[in-house]
């Protein structure tokens, strides 16, 4: 029975992703974000529990990726779809975007490039044996948090300048391309997996967690894109990401 506990936690991630997808389609972004955050928590906790109980299995690995595909792959694509649709129907540079793309009504569907890139990244991860203590490319949960931060910034930190930027179709298109690239980029990023609690062995991880908490407490949702940038840059300049 014990060996099934991590898989049950993973299925909670699946459930959270399904609920988040429903709220995303309804454009209820606060609830979407809540269930994505819960799903990501379960995604981290199931792996931690499996290691503690020493019940890792091939089934658990496959199930984990399938869960991530929903919570951190499909849902961010839906959120970007909604933001891109809002950039059109809300009148933000509507004429310019329509002229540039020629098919403004189909423009929001480009948001699902994130979902496609996530699927490719997860499939590649499942067959790559060199992504145990680090990742190659941005993990899908990290990208999901980045995309979910955009509507939350609009809701809680919105002003004319931020609204104009985030709801600019070119910004959203650029963010979609950037996310799709980072998910599959040949860059090695450290994983927040602690084999032990030694500060010496996990200095980068501890410092990153502490800095992230400080930024979240001071900047709230505005901190998320900054934290992701710090994560990527610190990985690139750290020997621990080699």
Could you tell me the two tokens for 186?
Answer: 């040949």
Could you tell me the two tokens for 70?
Answer: 């929903």
Angle at 202 between CA 66 and CA 182, to 5 degrees: 45
Of 146 and 205, the one with more pLDDT:
146
Does the pLDDT at position 152 exceed 80?
Answer: yes
pLDDT band at 240 (very low <50, low <70, confident <90, very high): very low
201: which residues sit within 8 A by CB, 6+ positions away?
195
Does the pLDDT at position 141 exceed 80?
Answer: yes
Could you tell me the two tokens for 50?
Answer: 């499996």
Backbone angles phi, psi at 74, to 5 degrees: -70, -50
CATH number (1.10.1060, 1.20.120, 1.10.12, 1.10.3470) of 2-134+142-187 reads 1.20.120
Mean pLDDT computed over every residue of the chain: 86
Quote the pLDDT of residue 202.
76
- Give the mean model confidence (pLDDT) for residues 91-115: 67
- What is the separation of C-alpha 197 from the centre of its chain, rounded to a whole number of angstroms? 26
Does the pLDDT at position 94 exceed 60?
Answer: no
Does the pLDDT at position 95 exceed 50?
Answer: no
- Give the mean model confidence (pLDDT) for residues 88-104: 52
Report the C-alpha gap between 225 and 142 in whole angstroms.
Answer: 10
Could you tell me the two tokens for 138?
Answer: 């941005």
List beta partners, residue 189.
135
Does the pLDDT at position 241 exceed 50?
Answer: no
Quote the pLDDT of residue 132.
62
3-state helix, strand, coil in the chain (%, to 5): 80, 0, 20
* Closest by CA position to 108, among listed 140, 78, 128: 78
Of 238 and 16, the one with more pLDDT:
16
Query: pLDDT tens digit string along 197-220?
Result: 676 777 888 899 999 999 999 999
pLDDT band at 96 (very low <50, low <70, confident <90, very high): very low
pTM, two decimals, is: 0.86
Does the pLDDT at position 15 exceed 90?
Answer: yes
pLDDT band at 103 (very low <50, low <70, confident <90, very high): low
Does the pLDDT at position 55 exceed 80?
Answer: no
Does the pLDDT at position 92 exceed 70?
Answer: no
Report the C-alpha gap between 143 and 177 in whole angstroms.
Answer: 12
Does the pLDDT at position 99 exceed 50?
Answer: no
* Domain boundaries of the chain, sorted by first residue: 2-134+142-187
């Amino acid at each position: 029975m014990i060996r099934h506990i991590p898989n049950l936690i993973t299925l909670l991630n699946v459930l959270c992703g399904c609920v988040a997808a429903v709220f995303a389609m309804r454009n209820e972004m606060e609830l979407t974000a809540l269930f994505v955050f819960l799903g990501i928590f379960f995604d981290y906790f199931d792996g931690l529990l499996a290691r503690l109980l020493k019940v890792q299995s091939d089934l658990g690995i496959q199930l984990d990726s399938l869960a991530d595909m929903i919570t951190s792959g499909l849902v961010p694509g839906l959120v970007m779809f909604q933001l891109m649709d809002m950039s059109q129907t809300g009148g933000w540079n509507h004429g310019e975007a329509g002229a540039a793309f020629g098919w403004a009504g189909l423009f929001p569907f480009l948001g699902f490039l994130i979902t496609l890139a996530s699927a490719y990244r997860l499939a590649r991860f499942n067959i790559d044996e060199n992504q145990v203590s680090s990742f190659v490319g941005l993990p899908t949960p990290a990208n999901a948090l980045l995309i979910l931060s955009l509507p939350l910034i609009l809701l809680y930190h919105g002003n004319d300048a931020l609204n104009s930027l985030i709801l600019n179709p070119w910004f959203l298109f650029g963010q979609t391309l950037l996310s799709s690239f980072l998910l599959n980029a040949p860059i090695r990023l450290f994983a927040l997996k602690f084999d032990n609690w030694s500060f010496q062995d996990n200095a980068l991880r501890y410092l990153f967690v502490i800095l992230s908490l400080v930024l979240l407490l001071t900047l709230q949702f505005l901190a998320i894109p900054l934290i992701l940038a710090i994560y990527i840059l610190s990985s690139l300049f750290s020997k621990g990401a080699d």
